[in-house]
Structure formats: structure tokens, C-alpha cells
A and B are shown apart, each in its own frame.
Chain A
């Protein structure tokens, strides 16, 4: 089982729709969760972080965390063509010798078409 697994893509949505990206993780002790956006040929850019169960909203982005189900999601409302990118889910491990090691999922490619 992969440590961090994202829903397989690519995901294609029309402009103005809601894009839903999902992520599950295996380390039940994980405490911090992140969504990064990566445009083709560019480095990952942090767009959302969430640490507590529930929803966290920032503009058109909403991150949802359910630690009992070991599930993180990212909703993008009113999707725009500029949102077309690969979205990476990252989970910070609980500790041990890892000092909070960040583990990434494989990424989901999102395409927003006009």
C-alpha cells in the first residue's frame, strides 16, 4: 500500500465547475496535510495546508480533512483554465526519526477546459 495515494487522473472539468481532488494516507499518526500545485516544468507551490478535522476555505479552494478515515480532499470552486496543473497531496509523518518527513502522493493532473 502506498503511503499517500491520490485519485487517478487525469481529471477534466469544464470552466466554472467544481473540481474535486482526493487523497488517502496510511500513517494514522500524521498531523499535517498539504496541497501543492505544480505547473508543467515548474516546482511545487503550496496552496493549502490543514491540520484539524473539518473544512478550511481559502478563496476558491477548500481543503477537507477526516483523520478517522485518513482522507484529505481539495475542492476548487469556479474552476478556471489557469487551474490546469498537477495537484500534489503531501502528508507530514508523525515523527520518529523522520522529524516530520513530508511524503507526497503521485499527483493528479487537472485540466479545466473552456
Chain B
């Protein structure tokens, strides 16, 4: 079974530029997550999708970040304009279901390392 795919793996941009990341979850996984992991910290949830609907985006900086999952499969996360503090690894994860007792385990992709200069 193929894992979570992400691209690009690395990206270097200047502040105020825009950038987009792509994620393809494990086949059949309805729930998709985007996390931001700053060096030395644990991942922080940015947005959670259930199929193509947003379940939780409470920690997404909506003035500059946007995400979509139009067909309920792959997803894109965009930053526009980027700031220096956006330098981090952006992780995509998926699980088969949502809720407390279902789809408990989340599986992570390799991540995209973003450097903003």
C-alpha cells in the first residue's frame, strides 16, 4: 500500500513570495491533515479535512494560508505572502476515518521543508 505522498520535498523562497504544497493521502483515507512543524517543536495542526469538507481550521492563519481538497482526494496548501516565521516542515497526514474511536491512527507523508529568506 502506497503511503502519503507530498511534493515538493524542499522549497526555498523569499519573503512575500507565494508557495504551494501538494499532498496525496493513502488510498481510501477520507481524512486529511496539514501540520506545521517548526524546528524543535511538535507538529501543529493547521487544517483537517473530512472528504472535501473542512472539519477544523482553527489554527490556520487565514490571512495568508489557504487549503483545498476539491475532489476529496489530494490537497494543496498555499501560503501567500510568506513570512520568515513560516519556515518549517509542512506535514500531510491521513487516516481512514475521523472521530474518537475510528481512524485513530494518522500516517504521515515525508513532509515539505520550507525555507523563507
Q: Which residues of B contact A32 (CB under 8 A)?
A: 100, 104
Question: Which of A31, A44, A94 contacts B91 (CB under 8 A)?
Answer: A44
Summarize B's interface: helix, strand, loop or mixed.
loop
- Interface residue? B87 (CB, 8 A): no
- Please report the C-alpha to C-alpha distance between residue A97 and residue B53 in the assembled complex, in whole angstroms: 13
Question: Which of A43, A97, A101, A106 contacts B42 (CB under 8 A)?
Answer: A106
Q: Which residues of A contact B103 (CB under 8 A)?
A: 100
- Please report the C-alpha to C-alpha distance between residue A106 and residue B105 in the assembled complex, in whole angstroms: 19
Interface residues on chain A, number (Cβ under 8 Å): 27
Across the interface, do B105 and A99 meet the contact criterion of CB distance under 8 Å? no
Considering residues B48, B105, B106, B110, which has the most beta carbons from chain A within 10 angstroms of its beta carbon?
Answer: B106
- Please report the C-alpha to C-alpha distance between residue A58 and residue B48 in the assembled complex, in whole angstroms: 30
Q: Which residues of B contact A99 (CB under 8 A)?
A: 48, 50, 55-56, 98-99
Considering residues B45, B104, B108, which has the most beta carbons from chain A within 10 angstroms of its beta carbon?
Answer: B104
- Which of A76-100 touch B at CB < 8 Å? 88, 90, 92, 94-95, 97-100
- Which of B28-84 touch A at CB < 8 Å? 33, 40-45, 48, 50, 55-56, 58
- Interface residue? A102 (CB, 8 A): yes
- Please report the C-alpha to C-alpha distance between residue A107 and residue B41 in the assembled complex, in whole angstroms: 7
Are A43 and B111 CB-contacts (below 8 A) given A34-B105, A99-B50? yes
The chain B residues found within 8 Å of chain A, CB to CB, are 33, 40-45, 48, 50, 55-56, 58, 91, 98-101, 103-111
- For this complex, 28 residue pairs linking A to B, each with C-beta atoms less than 8 Å apart, are A4-B42, A32-B104, A34-B104, A42-B110, A43-B91, A43-B108, A43-B110, A43-B111, A44-B91, A44-B108, A45-B108, A46-B105, A46-B106, A92-B100, A97-B55, A99-B55, A99-B99, A100-B99, A100-B100, A100-B103, A100-B104, A102-B33, A102-B106, A103-B45, A104-B42, A104-B43, A106-B41, A107-B40
The chain A residues found within 8 Å of chain B, CB to CB, are 4, 31-32, 34, 42-46, 49, 51, 88, 90, 92, 94-95, 97-107
